[in-house]
């Protein structure tokens, strides 16, 4: 199913709080900050343009990275999305900042 996900599926979640289901089954409330197309990473045989989704937690979290689930409008529950943590780099140190890459 992940191969059918495009950046457009995330548009309605942009700047909206939503739950990210962590590997341990708990929920982390997140906010999707940005959706960045990566057209230079596209392979000739692929129709989807690769993209990154940047998000941050709404509360402090110890979560670092792992396979998570996320509910997407029009798609349903996406399972097994690898979410990786990024350094805060001048942002609120209490929150977690994350990235999802779709190649």
pLDDT per residue as tens digits for the range 32-91: 999 998 867 666 777 768 999 999 999 999 999 999 999 998 889 999 999 999 999 999
Q: Which two tokens stand for residue 54?
A: 């940047």
- The C-alpha atoms of residue 77 and residue 26 are separated, in whole angstroms, by 15
Q: How many CB atoms lie within 10 A of CB 74?
A: 8
Rg (CA), the chain: 13
Q: Which two tokens stand for residue 29?
A: 């409330």
Entry pTM = 0.87
Question: Tens digits of per-residue pLDDT, 17-44?
Answer: 999 999 999 999 999 999 998 867 666 7
Query: How confident is the model at residue 28, as a pLDDT?
Result: 98
């Amino acid at each position: 199913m992940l191969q059918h996900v495009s950046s457009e599926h995330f548009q309605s979640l942009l700047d909206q709080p939503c739950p990210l289901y962590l590997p341990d089954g708990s929920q982390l409330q997140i906010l999707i900050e940005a959706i960045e197309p990566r057209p230079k990473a596209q392979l000739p045989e692929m129709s989807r343009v690769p993209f990154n989704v940047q998000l941050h937690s709404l509360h402090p979290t110890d979560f670092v990275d792992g396979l998570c689930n996320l509910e997407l409008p029009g798609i349903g529950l996406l399972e097994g999305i690898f979410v990786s943590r990024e350094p805060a780099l001048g942002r609120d140190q209490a929150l977690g900042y994350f990235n999802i890459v779709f190649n």
